[in-house]
Amino acid sequence: MAEAQTTVAVLGAAGTIAPAIVRDLAESEEVASMALLDLDSDKAGTVADEHGAGKATASAVDARDVDGLAGALRDAGAEVLLNTASYRINLDAMRAALAAGCHYLDLGGLYTTTLGQLKLGPEFERVGRLAVLGIGSSPGKTNLMAAEAVKRLRDAGQAVSGIDSIEVCAAGRDPAAPDDGRLRPPYAIQTLLDELTLEPVVLRGGRAAHIEPLAPGGTVEYGEPIGAAETIFTLHSELATFGESFGCQSASFRLSLAPALLERLKGLADAPPEAVAQAAREAASPSNQTVSVHLVIVHTADGASMTARAVTRPHFGLGGSVVSTATPAAACARLFARGALTATGVHPPERCIEPAAMFAELEARGCTFSFTS
């Protein structure tokens, strides 16, 4: 057994996804301690007590105070900053990690923020640290599914003329959600609303193009246990890096939410901020029976194709929708601790993580992968 020696700081520790990450890291022998940081130290303390297994302590930090966050990271002796907070503070969190000499990872930057984060690459290179942008379920797991599918096509000689298109499709369902009218979002309501109301970006002819919010994406067959489901195009971080990473001419992201959840979110799309905040306060967590399915479909210019499929079921007594996002981030922290990530600078997952290493971690935590040509 490896000696636990890494300290991980978890920012946004009182949020939807962080408790599952803390639970995962508490069971990781590579992690000696965790510093749980949040505006609400009481809620972060509850997460530490309920999920930290004695490894976690909590404190109040405002991530917009870069110097204050950097000081908290230094005081904790953190080697890695795992940012689960709103994508709006990603740049501030990265600057704090730079000041404290930490590696960095987050759950995504909703395209536009990701583009700004990539510009910090030279600064991370100068201090010999790595920032991994978007290592949750999607972006994150899906980036590595795309990388593996492209590799398999190229190894088989089926991508001689290059990669034509990459389609990412995500769906989640909660079969045990009671019909009580409460919102049960898989992650932060405000982020979901941003995905639904901001113009999606797709790649067309190798160039970024904007399309209408909520544009129908057609029916996608996700396989069991979800089956065929209607989708919409939404704004997502994968589109910020897939063109350069894979040389694809077209790419898109499509999302399928449960119809009732989608309609409730549409009703909040034009609501004033106080109404959205109230909905967030009243929202309930998804049940521990949720299932998440991700598809990545790669087409080559030669007419070949490869479909990567990931199914995440409940684990740790938590639902698959939360586990799907939490476990890649926790696995990335373990890879940092083992010295398995050797790049420096700022990169999306497909440019700095070996897919097989991540898949092995996730398969031990309720996720299964398949690749079909």
Q: What is the pTM of this model?
A: 0.94
For the domain that residue 186 is a member of, what is the CATH number?
3.30.360.10
Based on the domain organization, do 197 and 310 belong to the same domain? yes
Based on the domain organization, do 115 and 156 belong to the same domain? no
Based on the domain organization, do 238 and 152 belong to the same domain? yes
> Residues of 6-33 as b/e, b for ≥16 C-beta within 10 angstroms?
bbbbbbbbbbbbbbbbbbbbbebebbbb
| pLDDT for 366 beyond 50 | yes
Based on the domain organization, do 250 and 273 belong to the same domain? yes
Based on the domain organization, do 160 and 308 belong to the same domain? yes
Name the domain count of the chain: 2
* Residue-wise pLDDT tens digits, 321-337: 999 999 999 999 999 99
Distance, CA of 26 to CA of 302 (rounded, Å):
47
**Domain limit, last residue, from 321, 338, 353:** 321
Reduced 3-state DSSP string for 264-304: HHHHHCCCCHHHHHHHHHHCCCCCCCCEEEEEEEEEECCCC
| pLDDT for 105 beyond 90 | yes
Give a yes or no: residue 72 inside a domain: yes
Based on the domain organization, do 327 and 317 belong to the same domain? no
Based on the domain organization, do 267 and 146 belong to the same domain? yes
Q: Which domain holds residue 42?
A: 6-138+323-367
* Residue-wise pLDDT tens digits, 64-78: 999 999 999 999 999
Give a yes or no: residue 278 inside a domain: yes
Give the pLDDT score at 2: 47
Mean pLDDT of the chain: 94
Based on the domain organization, do 348 and 307 belong to the same domain? no
Based on the domain organization, do 82 and 201 belong to the same domain? no
Which residues on adjacent β-strands are paired with residue 140? 136
Based on the domain organization, do 21 and 111 belong to the same domain? yes
| pLDDT for 91 beyond 50 | yes
* Residue-wise pLDDT tens digits, 205-233: 999 999 999 999 999 999 999 999 999 99
Give a yes or no: residue 148 inside a domain: yes
Based on the domain organization, do 331 and 315 belong to the same domain? no
Give a yes or no: residue 372 inside a domain: no
Give a yes or no: residue 1 inside a domain: no
Reported as a pLDDT band with limits 50, 70 and 90, residue 1 is very low
Question: What phi-psi label fits residue 317: left (phi over 0), alpha (psi between -120 and 50 degrees) or beta?
Answer: left
For the domain that residue 37 is a member of, what is the CATH number?
3.40.50.720
Give a yes or no: residue 81 inside a domain: yes
Which residues on adjacent β-strands are paired with residue 233? 254
Cite the beta strand spans of the chain per DSSP E. Answer: 6-11, 31-38, 56-60, 80-83, 103-106, 130-132, 163-173, 201-204, 207-210, 216-221, 228-233, 250-256, 291-300, 305-312, 345-347, 367-372
Give a yes or no: residue 373 inside a domain: no
* Residue-wise pLDDT tens digits, 134-182: 999 999 999 999 999 999 999 999 999 999 999 999 999 998 877 666 7
Based on the domain organization, do 95 and 165 belong to the same domain? no
